[in-house]
Structure formats: C-alpha cells, structure tokens
C-alpha cells in the first residue's frame, strides 16, 4: 500500500516537472487595455472675495453650493503632532495640524502662488517696499466669541514672533542687517508692518497664524520655557481658542487627530451660509507609506498621495472605483547628488576631505563628467515607475521662480570622458580611471539607509560612475549618522540626499545656498571657518540671494534667482536627479475638489462638501 | 551521535527537513555556479521584469531546444503604467554548462562556467528582477549565503563565551558567581530586541560589507550569551559535585582545566539542542533588522533586505516573485525547528530549551 | 515573616541590577553617532539659534558622564525627563502603557488557554504521530518573520474588508455606545493578536509538553498509578498541578518578552503601543524616552520574576524548604 502511494507521488512529481518544462510558444492575446481615461479638466471657481453683510466683512466662496455635514479623512505620515501651538512647531506635520486652527493674515493663491488676503480684508505694500498696511475684517470672531482685532495681530508679532518665543525660525529669517521689522497698530482694524530695508520675502511671513491675545498673553509673559509647553498635545480641546475653519475635537496619540467645524467661521457660500460644509475633519496618523495605501484601499481614508507603481494600480482601478486621480505636476522636493567641496582642515589639523579628492571635487569638469554620466531617464522609469521628471535646476519644477531656460539633457558618456580627459584624467588598460597624479579615482557615496528610493538611485549611480572607470563605494548609512556627517564631522565624499523646497520663495533655501548657511551642504563651514575664503561661484550666489531678498518686484527678483539657478546649473555643486510627480486620489463623493500643485487637495477645505 | 542521525532519518518530518536544508546549503555553496548572473549584475532597462518564460515547443508546435524571449518595457502614458511585453523577434536558446559572466568560485578559483545561461544579449531571469533590474534568482542564492550562515556564525561566537562564562561562574561559586550572574541578569533584563537595534544603530558607517556582516554577527551573539550562560551555570552546579570532578580535582588539575575538560563536555547534549533551536531565531533577527534598515545593506543581498523591498503593498500584489526570500526564510526556519525538535526528543525530551 | 524577609532581600538585590542596566543602556545609546536633532538640522527653515537652544535643552553639549548623572538624579526623583520633542516622557508612556497591557494580556491569556492543553495532549501522546503533527503545526507559526506575517494579514484585511487596517479604535469611537466601543476594540485587536499568538504559542506548547513529560516520569505519579488511581485522576489531579508550577516562572519573562517581541508587530499594525513608541525612539536616539522604557522593561521583568518566585514559594512546599 505504502509503495503504491510513493509510486503515485513520484509519478505526480515527474509529471509536474515535465509539465513545467514544456511550455508552448503561442502569441499572447493582445490585451487591448481599455484606455478610457477620464479627463480631469478642472474648472476652478473664481477667487473668493470679501462681501460685507450687516457690518461683518465675510469672505465669500465662489464655488458651487453644497450640502452641510459629513467627514473628510486625510492622513499624516510619521509620529503625529508634537504640539498644537503653531508658534512652537518644528516639524511639518505639527505645523499643518496646528495651522488648521489658526488662520494667518494672508494666504497663498493656490494657482498663481501670489499672496492673497485671508484673515486680513486687504493689504498694500508701499512704493518703497518697506511698509505693509494690513486692514482687518470687521466683525469676525475667535471661537470664544471675542472679536479679532489689531491688538491680536500686534501682540502676536511683538510678544511672540519678534520676542523670540517658541520656534524662532521666522524671526531669524527676517533679521535684515541685524535689525527686525516693527509692527504698529494704526486703529482697531489696521496694522502697519515696517521693515528696515525693502525685503520681499517678508510678505510671505504674513501668512503666519495670528494668536488670540487674551489666551496667549499670560503664557507669553511667563517666558520661553513655559511657552514651549503651552498648548501642547496634552492640552484639553476645550482650551483652544481658534480662528480657523476647524477646531480640535480630540487627539488620540499615534492614532488620529479629529477636528470639528467652526460654526462661526468668516467664510460664507454664495447663499450667505457659513462654511465649512464638513462637520468633521480627521487626520489619521499612519506610520509609513505602505500603511497609508492599505488604509486608502480599505476606504478608511478619503484622499492619498500616490507614488510610483501605485499610480498605475489606481489609474487602472479609477474607471470602476469611487475615486478620481489628479495629476498635480512635479513636487517641491529636490533630490540631488553632492560632492564635498570642503578644502579646509578640522580641529585636529586633518583635512575633512583628503587632498587628492579635493582636487577632483573642486574641478568643475569632474563634476560635470559625473553629471553627464547619470542616467536620469532610467531612474525615473525604474525607481519612480515613470511618475516623475528629470531635474536639472536648484528650484523645483513647480516653483514660480523656476528658470525655464536651463535645458535638460541626456546621459552622455562620451561627453563625460571628454571632460575628464580635459582635466588630465586617464584610463589604464583595464578601463580604470586615474587622475593626472596617477591616483586611482575612488570615493565613498552615502545615502540614508532604509529609503528604498535613494538606495536604488545609489545603486544606479554607482554603476553609471563605474562605467567611467571610477571606483565607488556605495554605503547607505543610518539617517541620523548621515546628518551628523553632513553638519558636524564633515567627513564625506559624495552623498545622495533630498530637500523639501518652497515653490514660492527661493529665499527659504538660503540656508542651503548661501555660503554661511546652516545647511550649505556641499561646503559646510563650522564656527571657526566662518570667514574662510569662498569660491567665486559661492560669492556670486551669496550676492544674488541678498539682492533677490531686497528687490521688491517679482520680475526683478526672478532675474536674480534665474541667475543663481544658472550658476548652479553650470558649476554643479549640486547635481539634481529627478522630481517625482504629485498624484493624488480623492473619493468621488466629495465635491468642490480643486487640487493644485501649490495648495494640494486641502487648500479650500471649507468649500469641500460630500454628497452623502 | 549515531542515535541522533538514525532518529532524524526515521522521523518523516525531520527527514524532509534535513533533505531540504541539505539541498539549500548545497545550492548556496555552489551559488556562483548555479546563478546565471553575478550578485551585482543589473540591466537597468529591465527593472521589475516578470520571470522569463521558457518555451520548449515553438510557435509551430514543434519540440525545440528550450528558449526564451526578452521582455521589452514601455511606459504607457495613458495608463501611467509600465507595460512588459515579450519581444518575439528573437529567440534566445538556453545553454547548459557553458561560459557566462566570470566569477571566482568561493572567492578563490576564477571560473566562467554556469549551470545555465542564455545566448548573448538574451536575459534569463528565472525569478524576475528587482527595482534595479537585478536577477532575483541569483541574488537569492548570494543573499542566502549571508542569511543562512549569520545564525551559525553568531552561535560560534556566542557559545564559547556562554559556556566559559557559565562554567566559571558555576564552578567557582560564591562571590564571583554572584557578581557574574548579576551582570548576566542585567544584560538579560534589557529587552533584547531594543538592545539589538540600539547596537545595530551604533555600527559606524563607512564599513565594508564584510566588516558590517561580522559586526552584525557579533551583535547577535551579544544578545544571546547571557541566558545561555545562566543555563550552563545551572548545569555546572549540579555536575561539579559528581565524583569524576572531585577525582580530577584531587589529582591537582587546574580549575580552568577541570571546567573545560571535565565539566563542559557533560553539557554537550544541551548545547546541541540549544544550537539547532536558536539558529532559526537568528535568521529571523537578521530579517527583522533588515526590515528596519539596520541589517545587511544594499547593494549586498540578504533574504532580509530583499524581503524588505518585497513587503510594499504594490509589490506583494503585482510582483509576487519578490516574495521568494520570505518563502525561503519560512522553509529554512521551519526545517531548523523540526530538526531541533527531533534532536531534543532524542537527547533530552524534558529540556526546557525553547 | 520568612517570605517578607525574602522579598526584602530580593528587592535589595535588584538595585545593583538596575544600576548596571542603566549604565549599559545609557552608554551604548550615547556612544552611538546618532544625533537626536538630525531631523531639525536637515530642515532648511530651522535656524542655528533654534538648534543651539534645543541642544542645550537636551543637555547634548555636556560630557556623557555628566549627562548620565543628571539623568540618574532625576530618575531617582521620579522625573523621567522630556523627549527630544519636548513632551514629557511620563505622559507619553502613560498614553501607551494601557494599550500595550491590553494587547499583552489578551495574547498571554490566549496562548495559555490554547498552549497548555496542547502541551498536555502532546505529552500524553508522546512520540505518536499526533505529537509530531502538533509540533510541526506550532512550528509553522514561529517560522514566518513576524513583520512579514503582519503585512500579509493587513493585505488580507484590505482585500476582504473583514478587519480594519491597523490602529486600535475607529475614527468615530468616542461617539459609540459602550458595547459598540468594546466591539470596535476587539475588531481592531484581532489581527495583531493572531500574529503574536502564533509567534508565542509554539514556545509555551513545548514548555508545557516538557514539564508534563518530566512530571509523568516522576516517582509520585508512578506511585499514584501503582495505587490504581484512574488515569484521568492521575493526570488531571496530580500531574497537571505540578507541571503548571514551573510555568509561573515563565509569566514574568513572557511579559517582558512581549514588550520587546511585539515591537515590529505593533509597528506594522500601527498599534498605539509601547513597542512602536520605543522602536521609534531608539531609531531617533531619543535618550530619555529610550532609557525610561528600557528601565521599565527591566523593572517589569524583575518584578515579574519576583512575583513568580513568591507565588512558587506559596504554592510549592518543596521550594520553601530550600529557601
């Protein structure tokens, strides 16, 4: 009996093996994929405008009228908020989540990127570019019923921002020649800001939230240590007094943040009814991208940002699913390769970068040769699954300051070889690259471990450079250690990193681009090297950033920032790689969805409504 | 020893497990030869290509030498999708035992022969490719070398330490014992997984892959020695009063000599059981570390870091071939457990080793 | 009185233990090149002044030994310090402990309810086909990398829609009635419990089997059998009681073990427990948080062992004689 079973088993195995070996070559039925892509042409409503009804200056939405009620669920990736005090936030997520509750005087036009009034009724900039007159809305209130007046604005700026409470980054970014701007109250509904010199980026700072004086005043008086813990994540939701469309209802650590509608918000629809339409806004706190997708698939989320292969999946599902996909163009991040141009010594008298490498890295031909060797096209195809665009400029592709004259180009190894030869590099019989002092060209390339995208880019760049005969030791290292190398020990050769940039204000990147910046990655200067000599192109960029900040007209500023992008494009201290495209999916039951590259899906959250 | 083997062969599950593991290690030993490509070979125009289709009956229905077609990849602007199609314009015949990419067998003997390759310009991806267009099948073999040895190596570091530590502590007794055991208990009281990731995260960057591999082995060993030493001490306590130990003492052997030569050999059966049962936990630990990005780093392969890539949602659904490392981990760990269980039942059925 | 003295002695013994644990942990963490401010440093809009302020606040500008002293002093006072984000460590732990406790207790309960009977069965059927099958089945649970199993289950949840995708409560949890709330939590707990359960079942089952074999082989069971007691009585009245005793020791370990073993599972399921908190803290080198959690883990283990030992003394007369 047993033998029979064994015999059958062996027979089945052999049969299976043969079956697996024999495959007939028949042409695939051409799967004509239905390409019924919906056209997602958005017709944007007119801009919101101010209307005055019974002495109250409302902001009126021009979007189609919708139903009240419903919940919109979005997500944030990471650990969740660290504070709900918009003046204490140091990370992006806390900023987003706290600024939902506190409106700023101005906001950014979601399409043009220009500053437009929000909490302010109107604003004007004087001809000399130094003073900003801001008129407030009459009759609008904090969530506890107290009116929002010039006192709140003056208090926020004088006692919090300019006094250096909480996160001082805004304050530090508007110190102009050692002087701070001033604020004064003209009357109850007018405030005047004055900068010591014309300083164009200042207008963007007016989007900073405004705090209710009667709540924040006592905290501000108790000093910075107390203020750091004020309105933390442990504060009871009832204790928030807010001006935004939504107000905190509950915060469950590591799970979600729930907001409820502000019933007395100052934006109204065309019928004069107070917005927002939605009763609730929920942010789920998800740990990683993977979990976010799963939650969207399980319909726990109403919107999601998509990358890479997921886009294809959702695109295919779109026609018979309950969501729509919007392509918002390239994102604001820049992904780059940089070489360490540092030619100084550390405290112990040792060079940060060994002298022979310094010669290579400081040679613009060498940098360009590397640039031409990089296969951006295949990186976009393989790593971003085609959902992205090669990047060559320091400003991101959706920046309003993007220099469009800088042309993209393809990988060109011959050009790389030419450039290397020009600088005296040569190859031996085995194709290995040596410099003119007979040193083998070999260096380390770092990126942060655990980031699949960057690791994959690293693997590809390593191969690209090895095609040129260089020896590249590619080492993904732990994120924190990498940052430590970048800003403290400075002992690295080449890195692959990314920055999130601002598409609206190049001056936001001055910490990266200016030679004394805290993130001047390719040539970090420690305290003692503060006054060390600059490269010519570094000097030029410094100059352009100063000029760009002081100029007041957009066209004039654009000229300076175009110039700086051109210098980076030619000198290649940063070699940009590609920009992923932002693709979002939103459930169809939500209407008045007008996502833009600058504002994302949620910029008009008060206008969004659900049909159910 | 003989009894163990006969028992292993008698037990059906253990037999299957033994055969599986044997085949695995054999394959890993001959990885260079069996893999059609080297570890780092990549064709970037072929990222995420599905497994090659091998045909033995051609389009006319005639029996043919096995051949395959290359895939072509195209980005479809409408669906935003990568389309993979077989390029039927050229057949590539499979070649057995012929020369392909050069490699060094076991890192020493330069060779060119591969078990199976394909004609020039053809691509044979038996289990598809990963994000960088590297052959998953080849990387599985090379990654397996790391994953399947890391546990054993850690044991070879850990066991001598644990044996000696436990032996000395138990034999000497008294204050020394007390201090040594307090220290071991302190190490045991730190939740092991966190200790593991803290240690892994302090690995200096800029190490070569071999250094990193060795240090991970050391770290894995550092986690496990204490509990092992404690059990050994307990056994030594009961052994040390037996006659043969007293006899050795009376003829004036050194303390260390007695511990190493007379006492520790008595713990062999426990050691064997503990060893086979702890190899799988190290294989799993490596995959856990890699999941967090703290294990073996790209471009080196290990089953853990290959699985990390696979665990993305879209990969699980659309690229099931990337899941093979998970399957192999499962099989290897299961096989080790089954063998360990059998050995334990033979040697020491009441053993509390888990 | 004996017991009280014993407990007192044991507690005294744990003090040097805790000092060693804290020293080891502190120095290892601090030796790591990981910079708790890394994220801030890489944010172009964070100014130098802010960074200095942060580094001073966290005491990063002082030598390690001073940092340890500062930490130890406040720890003794019961102050666990603040995280690198400026939140109170004690508050953060308090948020998470109940969740982890819930998960742990459910998992331990389930494993015991299933594992002990399976262990007994295996011991009674020792060396039979059934015994082998049980071992193989429980081994399967141990052989899948837990994070991977968790990911697969999550995808299962998405595909079927039977289970929520991670978390502990639904978005509208606070508006539910009590029953609905309990149901909601059970619904969310289901998948993480399955993963941890399959992970720890095999261990307990083998342990119980070994204990049972040990006891069945002992003199008094042979005696009981010789006396002609029914097999049922022998097993369930005499053998079982003695076989379960050693498992009590295990409880302490299991408790602390789950704290560490659940980290990856909690991480994948986005479960708001301690494991995920500590994991994230370790990766960021958030020293106060990591130290507090490690110390808590150590204390939990020590207390667990202590309770187990005391229970043993009370239940098992043989041990009392020895002590």
- C261 CB near a chain B CB, below 8 Å? yes
In chain B, what residues touch C282 (CB-CB under 8 Å)? 194, 197-198, 201
Provide Rg for chain C, Cα atoms: 24
Size of interface A-B (CB pairs under 8 A): 128
B44 pLDDT above the threshold of 70: yes
Question: What is the model's pLDDT at position C258?
Answer: 65
Query: Does the CA dihedral A505-A510-A512-A518 come out positive or negative?
Result: negative
CA A189 – CA A143 distance, rounded (Å): 19
pLDDT mean over B289-298: 78
A82 pLDDT above the threshold of 60: yes
Percentage of residues of chain A with pLDDT beyond 70: 95
**Three-class DSSP category at A163:** coil
pLDDT mean over B271-289: 82
Query: Does the CA dihedral B271-B277-B281-B284 come out positive or negative?
Result: positive
**CA dist list (Å): C40 to A75, A92, A556, C54, C109:** 22, 10, 33, 9, 43
Give the Cβ contact number of residue C6 at 10 Å: 16
User: What is the Cβ-side half-sphere exposure of residue A314, based on CA atoms within 13 angstroms?
Assistant: 26
In chain B, what residues touch A21 (CB-CB under 8 Å)? 54, 56, 66
CA A285 – CA A257 distance, rounded (Å): 8
pLDDT mean over B307-321: 80
Confidence of residue C57 (pLDDT cuts 50, 70, 90): low
B274 pLDDT above the threshold of 70: yes
C228 pLDDT above the threshold of 50: yes
Task: Inspect the interface and report whether the beta carbons of A480 and C38 lie closer than 8 Å.
Answer: yes
DSSP code at position C175:
G
pLDDT mean over A281-296: 86
Confidence of residue A152 (pLDDT cuts 50, 70, 90): very high
Question: What is the model's pLDDT at position A38?
Answer: 47
CA C11 – CA B62 distance, rounded (Å): 83
A473 pLDDT above the threshold of 90: no
pLDDT mean over B116-131: 80
Beta-strand pair A494-500/A442-448:
parallel
Among B12, B191, B283, the strongest candidate for a mutation testing the C interface, having the largest count of C CBs within 10 A, is B191
Query: Nearest C-alpha of chain A: how many angstroms from B205?
Result: 6
CA A69 – CA A332 distance, rounded (Å): 33
Question: What is the model's pLDDT at position C259?
Answer: 66
pLDDT mean over A149-167: 91
pLDDT mean over C65-71: 80
- B211 CB near a chain A CB, below 8 Å? no
Mean pLDDT of chain A: 86
CA B200 – CA B198 distance, rounded (Å): 5
Confidence of residue C318 (pLDDT cuts 50, 70, 90): low
Evaluate whether C315 touches C244 at the Cβ level (below 8 Å): no
Question: What is the model's pLDDT at position C315?
Answer: 67
pLDDT mean over B233-248: 79
CA B232 – CA A371 distance, rounded (Å): 60
Among B298, B310, B317, B320, the strongest candidate for a mutation testing the A interface, having the largest count of A CBs within 10 A, is B298
Cβ neighbours for A419, distance < 8 A, ≥ 6 positions apart: A365, A366, A368, A369, A372
Closest CA to A183 of A195, A175, A173, A192: A192
- A460 CB near a chain B CB, below 8 Å? yes
CA A549 – CA A200 distance, rounded (Å): 5
A337 pLDDT above the threshold of 80: yes
Confidence of residue A32 (pLDDT cuts 50, 70, 90): very low
pLDDT 10s digits, B179-227: 888 888 778 777 777 777 777 766 665 567 777 788 888 888 887 888 8
A506 pLDDT above the threshold of 50: yes
Can you read off the two tokens belonging to residue A447? 């990126």
Phi-psi region of B121 (alpha: psi -120 to 50; beta: other; left: phi over 0): left
In angstroms, the first-to-last Cα distance of chain A is 66
Percentage of residues of chain B with pLDDT beyond 70: 93
Lowest mean pLDDT among A392-396, A405-409, B136-140, C54-58: C54-58
| Greatest extent of chain A over all pairs of C-alpha atoms, in Å | 103
Question: What is the model's pLDDT at position A116?
Answer: 92
A443 pLDDT above the threshold of 50: yes
Question: What is the model's pLDDT at position C39?
Answer: 62
Beta-strand pair B109-118/B81-105:
antiparallel
Beta-strand pair A267-268/A56-60:
parallel
Evaluate whether C163 touches A294 at the Cβ level (below 8 Å): no
Q: Which of B12, B195, B204 faces C33 most closely, judged by CB atoms?
A: B204
Q: Which of A169, A300, A486 faces C164 most closely, judged by CB atoms?
A: A300
Evaluate whether A135 touches A105 at the Cβ level (below 8 Å): no
B354 pLDDT above the threshold of 60: no
**CA dist list (Å): C103 to A284, B10, B210, C141, C273:** 21, 41, 40, 18, 8
Chains contacting A with at least 3 CB pairs below 8 Å?
B, C
Cβ neighbours for A375, distance < 8 A, ≥ 6 positions apart: A411, A460, A464, B44
Beta-strand pair A333-339/A574-576:
antiparallel
Question: What is the model's pLDDT at position A34?
Answer: 40
DSSP code at position A320:
G
Give the Cβ contact number of residue A405 at 10 Å: 10
Lowest mean pLDDT among A349-363, A440-454, A506-520, C205-219: C205-219
Question: If contacts are CB pairs under 8 Å, which of residues 385-414 in chain A contact chain C?
Answer: none
Confidence of residue C284 (pLDDT cuts 50, 70, 90): confident
Cβ neighbours for A66, distance < 8 A, ≥ 6 positions apart: A269, A277, A591, A592, A607, A608, A609, A610
Question: What is the model's pLDDT at position A193?
Answer: 94
Cβ-based burial of A483 (10 A; exposed 0-12, middle 13-18, buried ≥19)? buried
C323 pLDDT above the threshold of 80: no
Q: What are phi and psi of A198, to 5 degrees?
A: -60, 135
In chain C, what residues touch A252 (CB-CB under 8 Å)? 169, 173, 272
Please give the torsion angle defined by the CA atoms of residues B125, B126, B127 and B128, in that order, rounded to the nearest 10 degrees: 20
Question: What is the model's pLDDT at position A35?
Answer: 41
Looking at per-residue pLDDT, the higher value among A288 and B148 belongs to B148
CA A140 – CA B158 distance, rounded (Å): 71
pLDDT mean over C68-87: 77
Closest CA to B242 of B259, B263, B269, B264: B263
CA A556 – CA A454 distance, rounded (Å): 36
Q: Looking at chain B, which residue has its C-alpha nearest residue C128?
A: B11
Question: What is the model's pLDDT at position A362?
Answer: 92
Task: Inspect the interface and report whether the beta carbons of A460 and B132 lie closer than 8 Å.
Answer: yes
Percentage of residues of chain A with pLDDT beyond 90: 40
- B178 CB near a chain A CB, below 8 Å? no
Question: What is the model's pLDDT at position C263?
Answer: 81
Cβ neighbours for C228, distance < 8 A, ≥ 6 positions apart: none
Evaluate whether A600 touches A269 at the Cβ level (below 8 Å): no
pLDDT 10s digits, B53-99: 888 777 777 778 888 888 887 777 776 677 788 877 777 887 787 77
A503 pLDDT above the threshold of 60: yes
Question: What is the model's pLDDT at position C38?
Answer: 65
pLDDT mean over A61-74: 91
| Greatest extent of chain B over all pairs of C-alpha atoms, in Å | 89
Lowest mean pLDDT among A222-226, B11-15, C44-48, C62-66: C44-48
ipTM: 0.78
A106 pLDDT above the threshold of 90: yes
CA B143 – CA B129 distance, rounded (Å): 14
Q: Which of A32-41, A447-456, B210-219, C175-184 has the highest mean pLDDT?
A: C175-184
Confidence of residue C257 (pLDDT cuts 50, 70, 90): low
pLDDT 10s digits, C85-130: 667 788 888 888 888 888 888 988 898 889 888 888 888 887 778 8
- A512 CB near a chain C CB, below 8 Å? yes
Can you read off the two tokens belonging to residue A43? 């017709």
Cβ-based burial of C34 (10 A; exposed 0-12, middle 13-18, buried ≥19)? buried
B349 pLDDT above the threshold of 70: no
Closest CA to A192 of A267, A138, A124: A124
**CA dist list (Å): A301 to A291, B181, C174:** 11, 52, 18
**CA dist list (Å): A63 to A164, A180, A261, A591, C70:** 40, 40, 19, 10, 58
A155 pLDDT above the threshold of 90: yes
C317 pLDDT above the threshold of 60: no
Residue showing tokens 């695939």: A28
- Total-model pTM: 0.80
Question: What is the model's pLDDT at position A586?
Answer: 93
DSSP code at position A148:
P
Mean pLDDT of chain C: 78
């Amino acid at each position: 009996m047993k033998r029979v079973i064994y015999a059958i088993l062996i027979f089945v195995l052999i049969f299976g093996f043969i079956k697996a070996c024999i495959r007939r070559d028949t042409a695939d039925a051409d799967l004509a994929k239905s390409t019924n892509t919906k056209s997602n042409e958005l017709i944007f409503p007119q801009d919101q405008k101010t209307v005055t009804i019974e002495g109250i200056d409302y902001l009126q939405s021009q979007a189609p009228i919708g139903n009240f009620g419903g919940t919109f669920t979005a997500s944030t990736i990471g650990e969740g908020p660290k504070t709900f005090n918009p003046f204490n936030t140091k990370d992006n997520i806390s900023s987003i989540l706290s600024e939902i509750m506190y409106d700023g005087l101005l906001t950014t036009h979601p399409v043009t990127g220009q500053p437009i009034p929000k909490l302010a009724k109107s604003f004007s900039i004087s001809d000399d570019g130094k003073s900003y007159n801001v008129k407030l809305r009459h009759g609008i209130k904090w969530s506890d019923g107290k009116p929002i007046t010039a006192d709140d604005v003056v208090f926020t700026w004088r006692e919090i921002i300019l006094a250096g409470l909480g996160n001082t980054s805004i304050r530090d970014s508007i110190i102009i020649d050692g002087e701070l701007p001033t604020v004064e109250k003209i009357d109850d509904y007018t405030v005047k800001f004055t900068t010591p010199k014309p300083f164009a980026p200042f207008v963007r700072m007016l989007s900073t939230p405004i705090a209710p004086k009667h709540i924040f005043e006592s905290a501000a008086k108790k000093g910075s240590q107390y203020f750091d813990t004020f309105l933390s994540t442990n504060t009871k939701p009832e204790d928030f007094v807010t001006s935004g469309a939504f107000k905190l209802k509950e915060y469950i650590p590591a799970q979600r943040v729930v907001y409820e509608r502000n019933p007395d918000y100052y934006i109204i629809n065309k019928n004069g009814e107070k917005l927002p339409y939605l009763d609730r806004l929920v942010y789920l706190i998800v740990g990683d991208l993977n979990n976010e997708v799963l939650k969207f698939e399980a319909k726990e989320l109403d919107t999601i940002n998509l990358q890479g292969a997921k886009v294809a999946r959702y695109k295919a599902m779109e026609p018979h699913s309950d969501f729509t996909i919007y392509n918002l163009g390239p994102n604001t991040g820049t992904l780059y390769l940089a070489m360490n141009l540092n030619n100084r010594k550390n405290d112990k008298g040792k060079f940060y970068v060994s002298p022979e490498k310094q010669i290579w890295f400081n040679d613009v031909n060498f940098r360009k040769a590397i640039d031409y060797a990089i296969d951006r096209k295949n990186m976009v195809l393989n790593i971003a699954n085609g959902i992205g665009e090669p990047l060559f400029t320091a400003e991101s592709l959706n920046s309003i300051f993007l220099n469009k004259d800088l042309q993209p180009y393809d990988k060109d190894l011959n050009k790389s070889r030419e450039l290397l030869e020009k600088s005296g590099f040569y190859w031996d019989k085995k194709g290995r690259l040596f410099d003119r002092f007979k040193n083998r060209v070999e260096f380390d390339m770092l990126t942060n471990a655990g980031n699949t995208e960057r690791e994959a880019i690293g693997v590809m760049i390593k191969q690209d450079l090895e095609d040129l005969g260089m020896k590249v030791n590619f080492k993904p290292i732990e994120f924190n250690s990498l940052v430590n190398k970048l800003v403290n020990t400075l002992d690295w050769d080449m890195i692959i990193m990314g920055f999130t940039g601002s598409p609206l204000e190049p001056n936001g990147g001055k910490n990266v681009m200016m030679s004394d910046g805290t993130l001047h990655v390719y040539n970090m200067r420690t305290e003692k090297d503060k006054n060390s000599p600059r490269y010519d192109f570094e000097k030029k960029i410094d100059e352009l950033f100063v000029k760009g900040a002081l100029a007041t007209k957009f066209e004039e500023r654009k000229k300076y920032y175009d110039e700086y992008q051109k210098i980076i494009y030619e000198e290649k201290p940063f070699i940009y790689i590609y920009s992923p495209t932002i693709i979002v999916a939103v459930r169809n039951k939500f209407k008045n969805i007008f996502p833009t590259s600058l504002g994302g899906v949620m910029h008009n959250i008060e206008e969004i409504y659900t049909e159910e | 020893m003989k009894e163990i083997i006969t028992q292993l062969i008698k037990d059906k599950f253990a037999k299957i497990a033994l055969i599986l593991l044997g085949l695995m290690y054999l394959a890993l030993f001959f990885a260079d030869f069996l893999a059609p490509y080297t570890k780092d070979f990549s064709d970037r125009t072929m990222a995420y290509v599905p497994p090659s289709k091998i045909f033995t009956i051609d389009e006319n229905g005639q029996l043919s030498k096995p051949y395959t077609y290359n895939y072509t990849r195209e980005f479809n602007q409408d669906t935003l999708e990568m389309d993979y199609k077989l390029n039927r314009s050229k057949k590539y015949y499979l070649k057995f035992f012929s020369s392909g990419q050069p490699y060094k067998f076991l890192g020493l003997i330069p060779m060119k022969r591969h078990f199976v390759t394909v004609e020039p310009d053809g691509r044979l991806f038996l289990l598809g490719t990963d994000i960088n267009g590297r052959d998953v099948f080849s990387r599985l073999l090379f990654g397996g070398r790391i994953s399947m040895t890391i546990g054993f190596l850690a044991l070879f570091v850990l066991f001598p330490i644990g044996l000696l530590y436990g032996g000395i502590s138990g034999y000497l007794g008294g204050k020394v014992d007390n201090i040594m055991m307090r220290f071991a208990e302190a190490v045991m009281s730190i939740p092991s997984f966190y200790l593991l990731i803290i240690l892994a995260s302090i690995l200096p960057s800029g190490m070569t892959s071999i250094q990193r591999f060795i240090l991970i082995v050391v770290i894995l060993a550092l986690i496990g020695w204490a509990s092992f030493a404690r059990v050994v001490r307990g056994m030594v306590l009961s052994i040390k009063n037996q006659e043969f130990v007293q006899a050795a003492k009376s003829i004036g052997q050194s303390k260390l000599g007695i511990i190493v030569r007379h006492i520790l050999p008595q713990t062999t059966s426990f050691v064997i059981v503990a060893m086979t049962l702890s190899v799988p936990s190290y294989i799993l630990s490596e995959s856990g570390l890699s999941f967090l990005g703290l294990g073996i780093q790209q471009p080196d392969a290990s089953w853990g870091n290959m699985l990390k890539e696979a665990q993305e949602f879209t990969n699980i659904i659309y690229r099931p071939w990337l899941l093979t490392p998970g399957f192999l981990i499962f099989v290897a760990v299961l096989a080790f457990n089954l063998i360990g269980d059998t050995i334990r039942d033979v040697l020491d059925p009441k053993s509390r080793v888990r | 009185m004996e017991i009280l003295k014993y407990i007192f002695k044991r507690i005294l013994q744990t003090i040097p233990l805790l000092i060693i644990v804290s020293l080891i942990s502190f120095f290892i963490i601090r030796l790591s090149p990981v910079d708790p401010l890394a994220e801030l440093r890489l944010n172009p809009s964070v100014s130098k002044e802010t960074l200095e302020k942060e580094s001073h606040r966290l005491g990063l500008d002082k030598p390690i030994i001073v940092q340890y002293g500062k930490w130890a002093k406040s720890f003794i006072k019961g102050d666990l310090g603040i995280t690198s984000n400026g939140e109170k460590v004690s508050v953060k732990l308090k948020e998470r402990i109940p969740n982890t406790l819930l998960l742990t207790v459910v998992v331990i309960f389930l494993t015991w309810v299933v594992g002990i009977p399976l262990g007994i069965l295996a011991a009674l059927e020792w060396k039979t086909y059934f015994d082998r099958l049980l071992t193989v089945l429980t081994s399967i649970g141990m052989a899948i990398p837990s994070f991977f199993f968790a990911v697969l289950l999550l995808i299962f949840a998405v595909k079927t829609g039977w289970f929520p995708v991670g978390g502990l409560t639904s978005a509208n949890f606070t508006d539910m009635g009590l029953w609905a709330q309990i149901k909601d939590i059970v619904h969310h707990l289901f998948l993480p419990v399955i993963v941890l359960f399959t992970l720890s079942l095999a261990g307990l089952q083998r342990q119980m089997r070994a204990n049972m074999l040990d006891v069945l082989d002992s003199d008094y069971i042979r005696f009981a059998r010789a006396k002609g007691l029914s097999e049922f009585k022998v097993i369930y009245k005499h053998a079982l009681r003695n076989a379960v005793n050693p498992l009590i020791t295990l409880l302490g370990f299991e408790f602390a073990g789950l704290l560490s073993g659940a980290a990856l599972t909690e991480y994948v399921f986005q479960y708001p427990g301690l494991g995920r908190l500590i994991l994230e803290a370790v990766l960021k080198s958030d020293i106060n948080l990591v130290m507090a959690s490690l110390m808590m883990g150590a204390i939990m283990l020590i207390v667990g062992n202590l309770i187990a030992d005391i229970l043993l003394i009370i239940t098992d007369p043989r041990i009392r004689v020895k002590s």
